[in-house]
C-alpha cells in the first residue's frame, strides 16, 4: 500500500500531534484514516474512518503514545473496517507496504481459529503478533517480521508497554524524528518536518523502539548508533500561499530554479569525474513526470554525441538492461526518492557494477542513500500530487549534470550551460502566458479529450502536458511525436478536437506546422506554443502562445510552464481538486 504511517510518543497532546501529522501525510493520497492511542493504564482507544483525516476529529482520545495511518486501498475496498490501525489482543498496528505471503499466513491463522475483521493483508501481521507474544514486545515484532515477505513499514503499540512504540522497516520508507518532549516514526520526511526538529533515517531491516529515547536495532537485535541531523530549512513543511498547493507550487517555480541552481553551483562534482569521463553508456530510469525529465536529458546527451544513452520507465528497466555493467553510468530521477520501481531499477544497476547518480528533492530519502553520488534538487517541499516545480528543477539538475559530463569528457562546458543562470527570470516571464492559458482552459473545459504534439526535444514536454491533464483534470489526453499522428491517432481528430503543439526547434518548425495543418484540415482546434514570433505569425493555429527566448537546449525548462498552468486551470474549472487527484498517491512506494 502507498499509505502513510506515523507513531508518536509525547508528554502531552499526542492525539493532536497525530492528527496534525496525518494532515501532513494527506498529500501522499489516501482514502481512509485512523489513529490509536495507548493510555498509561494500558487501554487502547481507536478511531478509524473511510474518507478524510478531518473525519477523525471529535472527542480527544487519551494517551501519551499513539499510531496513525492514511490508507490507499490495495487489499480490500476503502471502508471503516479496512482502515488502520488493526487491533488484536494487546496489539494495535499500522502498516505501509504489501505483505506478499499474506494469503498463506491468513490460512494458517484461520486454521488456528482466528477471525478476521478486515480484508487487508496488514491484519495478518497484528494477529501473528498476538500469537507470537510472550512478554517481549520487540522480540515478538522481530519474530513476526522474519516471517513476512514483501514490503513494510510498521508501527505497533502493545498494551503491556504504555509509553512505547516498536517500528520496523523493510522496503517501505521510514524515518525517526525527535523534538522537545516528543519522539516520532513516520513514512515521510516532509510530513514530519513541521513536528520534529531532528531526523534520522531508518535503514531496511532495522527496528526502532520509541520510549524515553529513540533506539535503533539491526536485524540481529544489536543496537545501532545513528546520528540525528537537524531539519533543514528546505525540508520544512510547505504552506499554501495562493489557492491550492499546485497553484502555489507553480508560482514557486522561479524560486525553485534559483535555489536549485545555487545548490548546483555549490556541489562538488569531482567525486564522480572519473565515472563520468569514462562512461561507456548512460542509462536513465524514472517514473511519470520524472521519466519525462529523464527523456529530455537523454535527448540532450544524444544530441551532444556524448555516448549511447538509454532511457526507460523504471518499471520496464529490468527487462531492457541486458548490457548494463561496469563503466556504465545509471541516472535515477525521483522527486520523492522513495518510488519503489525507481529504487528497484537502481538496485539492479548497482548490482551490475554501474556508477549510480541520483536526482532527488528529499534529503535523506532512500534513493539519495542508495546512489554513489546524489544531486539535490532544491525545489522545496512539493505537496500537490501532480509534480510541477520539481519537474523544472529536475530538468535543471539533469542539464547541469549533462554540462558536467561534457566538461569531464571534452574539457569544456557547452555554450548553452552559461544561459542556465537566466532560467529563473525567464520562468517569471512565462507567467505572462497564464492569462491566455486560463482563457484557453475555459474554452476547452468541456472537451472530451486532447492531444499534445512535439518533435524531438519538444516531445517530452508534450508527454508531460498530457500527463498533467490526465492526472488532475481527469480528461483523456495523449502526447505524441508530431510526425506520428497520421500513423493511427489522426483517426480520433474531429471537429473542435483540441490539439496543442510545441515548436521550439528551428530545424523542425515547418514539420510541426505540417502536423498542425493536417489536424486543422480535419476540424481540430489548434494551439501552437513557440518562442518564435515569426513561426507563430505564419502558423495556421487558432491560438498562438509566445514563449520567452532562451537557447534551444534549455527550452524544455520553460515551455512546460504554460502547460502546467493550463492543466491546473482545467482541473479547477472542471470542479476538481488539483492537489488530490482521483486514485493517485504522491509517493508510489510499491512496485
Ligand atoms: C506526476 O505528476 C505524478 N504524480 C507522477 O507521475 C510522479 O512523477 C511519479 O510517480 C514519480 O514520482 P517520484 O518523482 O517521486 O519518483
Over the stretch 449-461, which tens digit does the pLDDT of each residue have?
999 999 999 999 9
Long-range pairs for 257-260 at CB < 8 Å and ≥24 separation? 257/392, 257/393, 257/396, 257/423, 257/424, 257/427, 257/557, 258/424, 259/234, 259/378, 259/379, 259/380, 260/377, 260/378, 260/379, 260/393, 260/396, 260/397
Q: How far is the CA of 76 from the centre of ligand 1 (A)?
A: 24
Same domain, 340 and 362: yes
Q: Which H or E run includes 144?
A: helix 137-145
The domain that holds 555 is classified in CATH as 3.40.50.10490
DSSP string, 161-210: STT-EEEEEEBS--EEEEETTEEEEES-HHHHTTT-SEEEE--TT-EEEE
User: How would you write 199-213 as a 3-class SS string?
Assistant: EEECCCCCEEEECCC
Q: State the distance from the centre of ligand 1 to the C-alpha of 69, rounded, in angstroms.
A: 22
CA distance 108 to 274: 54
Distance from residue 386's CA to the centre of ligand 1 (Å): 7
Sheet strands side by side (includes 476-481): 476-481, 449-454, 498-502, 525-530, 543-546
265 plus 229 within the same structural domain: no
pLDDT in tens, 188-224: 876 777 788 999 989 999 999 999 999 999 988 899 9
| 63 and 131 assigned to the same domain | yes
Is the same domain home to 394 and 456?
no
Radius of gyration of the chain (CA): 25
How high is the pLDDT of residue 396?
A: 98
Confidence of residue 26 (pLDDT cuts 50, 70, 90): confident
C-alpha cell read off for 498 = 483540441
Closest atom of ligand 1 to CA, residue 586 = 4
- Give residue-wise pLDDT tens across range 258-304: 999 999 999 999 999 999 999 999 999 999 999 999 999 999 999 99
Structural contact between residues 546 and 519, judged by C-beta atoms closer than 8 angstroms: no
- Higher-pLDDT residue of 549, 588: 549
Query: 499 and 387, same structural domain?
Result: no
In the listed set 235, 270, 304, which residue is the last one of a domain according to the structure?
A: 235
Confidence grade of residue 307 (pLDDT, cut at 50, 70, 90)? confident
Look up residue 59 and give its three cell numbers: 472527542
Q: Which of 378, 413, 448 is the last residue of a domain?
A: 413
Ligand 1 atom with the shortest distance to the CA of 388: 2
501 and 487 assigned to the same domain:
yes
Q: Which three cell numbers stand for residue 320?
A: 531492457
Provide the pLDDT for residue 238. 56
For a ligand 1 pocket test, name from 335, 376, 392, 585 the mutation site with the most ligand atoms within 8 angstroms of its C-beta. Answer: 335
Cβ-based burial of 198 (10 A; exposed 0-12, middle 13-18, buried ≥19): middle
Contact 536, 530 (CB under 8 A): yes
Q: Which residues line ligand 1 (CB under 6 A)?
A: 287-290, 334-336, 339, 342, 385-387, 471, 587-588
Atom of ligand 1 nearest to the CA of 468: 2
Q: How confident is the model at residue 586, as a pLDDT?
A: 74
Q: Are residues 182 and 108 in the same domain?
A: yes
Nearest CA to ligand 1 atom 8: 289
Q: Report cis status (omega within 30 of 0) of the bond before 85.
A: yes
Angle at 282 between CA 280 and CA 285, to 5 degrees: 155
pLDDT of res. 587: 72
Look at residue 1 in the predicted model and tell me its pLDDT. 47
Cell numbers that stand for 264 in this block: 548546483
Confidence at 236, pLDDT banded by 50, 70, 90:
low
Quick check: is 420 in a domain? no
Q: Please check whether residue 143 lies inside any domain of the structure.
A: yes
Give the residue, out of 387, 472, 590, with the most ligand 1 atoms within 8 A of its beta carbon, to mutate for a pocket test.
387
Residue 246 counted as domain residue: yes
The per-residue pLDDT for 48 is: 96
Residue at 64 is within a domain: yes
Contacts 24+ apart (CB under 8 A), 346-353: 346/285, 346/370, 346/371, 348/317, 348/318, 348/321, 348/324, 349/283, 349/285, 349/317, 349/321, 349/324, 352/321, 352/324, 352/325, 352/326, 352/328, 353/325, 353/326, 353/328
Whether the per-residue pLDDT at 486 is higher than 90: the answer is: no
For residues 156 and 67, the answer to whether their CB atoms sit within 8 Å is: yes
Catalytic residue among 3, 8, 284, 397: 3
**In this predicted model, what pLDDT tens digit does every residue of 362-378 receive, in sequence order?**
888 899 999 999 999 99
Told to judge if 551 belongs to the known catalytic residues of this protein, a careful annotator would answer no
The CA distance from 502 to 563, in Å, is 10
Both 203 and 344 in one domain: the answer is: no
Total domains in the fold of the chain: 3
In a domain? residue 498: yes
CATH assignment at residue 204: 3.60.20.10
Mean pLDDT of the chain: 92
362, 380, 413 — which closes off a domain? 413
Mean pLDDT calculated for residue range 379-393:
93
Alpha carbon of 152 to ligand 1 centroid (Å)? 21
Confidence band (pLDDT; 50, 70, 90) for 31?
confident
- Which has the minimum average pLDDT: 16-25, 203-212, 496-505? 16-25
| Domain assignment of residue 419, yes or no | no
Residue nearest to atom 16 of ligand 1 (CA): 334
Domain that holds residue 469: 425-586
pTM of the model: 0.76
Q: Is residue 577 part of a domain?
A: yes
DSSP state of 71: E
Do 306 and 354 have their domain in common?
Answer: yes
Q: Is the pLDDT of residue 589 over 80?
A: no
Q: Measuring from atom 5 of ligand 1, which residue has the nearest CA?
A: 288
397 included as an active-site residue: no
Segment of 186-195, 220-229, 388-397 carrying the highest mean pLDDT: 388-397
Q: In this structure, are residues 473 and 571 in contact, taking their beta carbons and an 8 Å threshold?
A: yes
> Which of 304, 262, 380, 237 minimizes the C-alpha distance to 552?
304
432 plus 325 within the same structural domain: no
Q: How far is the CA of 494 from the centre of ligand 1 (A)?
A: 32
Closest residue to atom 7 of ligand 1, CA basis: 288
Position 195 scores a pLDDT of: 82
Q: 65 has which bridge partners?
A: 9, 38
Q: Does 247 lie in the same domain as 217? A: no
Query: Is residue 591 one of the residues assigned to a domain?
Result: no
Question: Are 231 and 309 contained in the same domain?
Answer: no
Amino acid at each position: 500500500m502507498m499509505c502513510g504511517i506515523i507513531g508518536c510518543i509525547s508528554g502531552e497532546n499526542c492525539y493532536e500531534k497525530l492528527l496534525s501529522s496525518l494532515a501532513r501525510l494527506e498529500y501522499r493520497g489516501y482514502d481512509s484514516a485512523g489513529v490509536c492511542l495507548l493510555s498509561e493504564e494500558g487501554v487502547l482507544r481507536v478511531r478509524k474512518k473511510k474518507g478524510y483525516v478531518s473525519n477523525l476529529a471529535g472527542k480527544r482520545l487519551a494517551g501519551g503514545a499513539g499510531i496513525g495511518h492514511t490508507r490507499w486501498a490495495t487489499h480490500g475496498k476503502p471502508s471503516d473496517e479496512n482502515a488502520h490501525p488493526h487491533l488484536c489482543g494487546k496489539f494495535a498496528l499500522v502498516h505501509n507496504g504489501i505483505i506478499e505471503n499474506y494469503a498463506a499466513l491468513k490460512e494458517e491463522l484461520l486454521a488456528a481459529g482466528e477471525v478476521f475483521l478486515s480484508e487487508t493483508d496488514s491484519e495478518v501481521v497484528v494477529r501473528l503478533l498476538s500469537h507470537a507474544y510472550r512478554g517481549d514486545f520487540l522480540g515478538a515484532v522481530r519474530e513476526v517480521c522474519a516471517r513476512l515477505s514483501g514490503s513494510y513499514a510498521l508501527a505497533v503499540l502493545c498494551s503491556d508497554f504504555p509509553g512505547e512504540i516498536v517500528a520496523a522497516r523493510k522496503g517501505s520508507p521510514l524515518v525517526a524524528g525527535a523534538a522537545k518532549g516528543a519522539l516520532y516514526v513516520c513514512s515521510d520526511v516532509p510530513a514530519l518536518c513541521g513536528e520534529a526538529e531532528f531526523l534520522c533515517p531508518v535503514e531496511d531491516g532495522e527496528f526502532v523502539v520509541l520510549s524515553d529515547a529513540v533506539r535503533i536495532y539491526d536485524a540481529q537485535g544489536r543496537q545501532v548508533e545513528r546520528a540525528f541531523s537537524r531539519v533543514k530549512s528546505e525540508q520544512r513543511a510547505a504552506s499554501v500561499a495562493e489557492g491550492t498547493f499546485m497553484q502555489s507550487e507553480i508560482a514557486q517555480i522561479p524560486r525553485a530554479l534559483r535555489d536549485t541552481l545555487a545548490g548546483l553551483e555549490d556541489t562538488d562534482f569531482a567525486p564522480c569525474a572519473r565515472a563520468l569521463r569514462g562512461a561507456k553508456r548512460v542509462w536513465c530510469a524514472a517514473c511519470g513526470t520524472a521519466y519525462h525529465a529523464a527523456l529530455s536529458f537523454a535527448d540532450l546527451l544524444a544530441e551532444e554525441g556524448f555516448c549511447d544513452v538509454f532511457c526507460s520507465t523504471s518499471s520496464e528497466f529490468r527487462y531492457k538492461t541486458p548490457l548494463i555493467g561496469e563503466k556504465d553510468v545509471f541516472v535515477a530521477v525521483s522527486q520523492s526518492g522513495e518510488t519503489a520501481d525507481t529504487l528497484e531499477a537502481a538496485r539492479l544497476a548497482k548490482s551490475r557494477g554501474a556508477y549510480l547518480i541520483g536526482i532527488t528533492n528529499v534529503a535523506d530519502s532512500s534513493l539519495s542513500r542508495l546512489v554513489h553520488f546524489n544531486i539535490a534538487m532544491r525545489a522545496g517541499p512539493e505537496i500537490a500530487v501532480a509534480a510541477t516545480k520539481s519537474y523544472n528543477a529536475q530538468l535543471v539538475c539533469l542539464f547541469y549534470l549533462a554540462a558536467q559530463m561534457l566538461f569531464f569528457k571534452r574539457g569544456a562546458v557547452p555554450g548553452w550551460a552559461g544561459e542556465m543562470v537566466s532560467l529563473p527570470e525567464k520562468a517569471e516571464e512565462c507567467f505572462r502566458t497564464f492569462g491566455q492559458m486560463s482563457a484557453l482552459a475555459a474554452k476547452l473545459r468541456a472537451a472530451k479529450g486532447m492531444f499534445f504534439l512535439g518533435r524531438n526535444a519538444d516531445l517530452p514536454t508534450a508527454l508531460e502536458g498530457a500527463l498533467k491533464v490526465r492526472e488532475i483534470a481527469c480528461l483523456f489526453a495523449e502526447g505524441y511525436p508530431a510526425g506520428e499522428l497520421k500513423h493511427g491517432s489522426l483517426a480520433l481528430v474531429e471537429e473542435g478536437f483540441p490539439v496543442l503543439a510545441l515548436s521550439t526547434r528551428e530545424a523542425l518548425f515547418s514539420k510541426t506546422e505540417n502536423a498542425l495543418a493536417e489536424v486543422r484540415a480535419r476540424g481540430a482546434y489548434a494551439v501552437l506554443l513557440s518562442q518564435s514570433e515569426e513561426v507563430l505569425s505564419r502558423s495556421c493555429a487558432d491560438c498562438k502562445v509566445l514563449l520567452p527566448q532562451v537557447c534551444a537546449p534549455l527550452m524544455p525548462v520553460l515551455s512546460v510552464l504554460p502547460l502546467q498552468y493550463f492543466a491546473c486551470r482545467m482541473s479547477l474549472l472542471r470542479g476538481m481538486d488539483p492537489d488530490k487527484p482521483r486514485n493517485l498517491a504522491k509517493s508510489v512506494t510499491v512496485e
